[in-house]
Structure 1
Amino acid sequence: MQYAFLAYTPPEETDRATRPIPGALADLFDQPDVTGWARLHAHESATTLRNDEGRMLLTDGPFIDSKEYLAGLILIEADNLDRALAIAEGMLQETRPGTAIEVRPVLAGHFRGA
């Protein structure tokens, strides 16, 4: 089964585009279970499009206002949720304090790899 890890991080003062990924975390991205990942720009770069009863509303910024923001998306293959959580825990140990990883199953047939 495919799972998506949504990685949330606290706001930071450094430029994410130029900050390197820590070596141990980069090594985890190379695991055979990881089928794809993307690192995202800071939340200020987000634009949100909402359907408001047929009217499309365009707003600057992330979908929600919170202390954390979506920093990246990692796709993995795992036999079950327990295995997916174990992989996420290994990745989370290599991140900075305050980071969170939300684990969600991907709908079957709705992933198209690059």
Structure 2
Amino acid sequence: MQYALLAYNPAEDTDRAARPIPGALATMLDRPEVTGWARLHADGSATTLRNDEGRVLLTDGPFIDSKEYLAGLILIEADDLDGALATARELLGTTRPGTAIEVRPILDGRLRGA
């Protein structure tokens, strides 16, 4: 089964684009169960499109104001939720303090090599 691991960072952690990916995290991202990943710029770089009854509203910035922002996502293959949580726990051990990882099953889509 496919899962998305959504990594959230504290809003004040905005200098990460200038930092290299830590070695332990890079090692995790190279594992075979990781089928894709993306590291995102800080939330201030976002542009949001919203469907307002057929009209498109365009807004600079993130969809919501939050103390955390989506910093990246990692796509994995796991047998079940327990397997996905185990990978997420291991991944969390390679991140900076304050990082949160949300685990969600993927309904459908295309992953690298799929």
Matched, 1:40 2:40: yes
The residue aligned with 2:85 is 85
3-state SS of 2:41 partner: coil
CA contact (8 A) 2:49 2:57 kept: yes
Q: Distance in 1 between the 2:16 and 2:63 partners?
A: 20
For the residue of structure 1 that corresponds to 2:49, the secondary structure is: strand
What is the aligned partner in structure 1 of residue 56 from structure 2?
A: 56
- The equivalent of 2:104 in structure 1 is 104
RMSD, matched Cα: 1.4
Structure 1: give runs of 5+ residues left out of the alignment. none
Unaligned residue ranges in structure 2 (runs of 5+): none
> Structure 1 length as normaliser, TM-score?
0.92
Q: How high is the TM-score relative to the length of structure 2?
A: 0.92
Who is 1:15 aligned against?
Answer: 15
Output the CA distance in 1 between the equivalents of 2:57 and 2:16. Answer: 28
Shift of 1:17: 2.3
Matched residues, number:
113
Q: Shift of residue 96 of structure 1? A: 1.1
Matches of 1:13 and 1:40 in 2, distance apart? 12
State the distance in 1 between where 2:57 and 2:95 align. Answer: 35
Post-superposition offset of 1:97:
1.2
Q: Deviations over 1:31-69 (max 9, x none)?
A: 111000000011100000000111110001111110100
Cα drift, residue 13 of structure 1: 5.3
Structure 1 112/22 Cα, relative in aligned 2: closer, same or farther at 3 Å? Answer: closer
What percent of counterpart residues are identical?
75
Residue-by-residue CA offset, 1:51-107 (whole Å, 9 max, x unaligned): 011111000111111010000010000010000000000000111111101111111
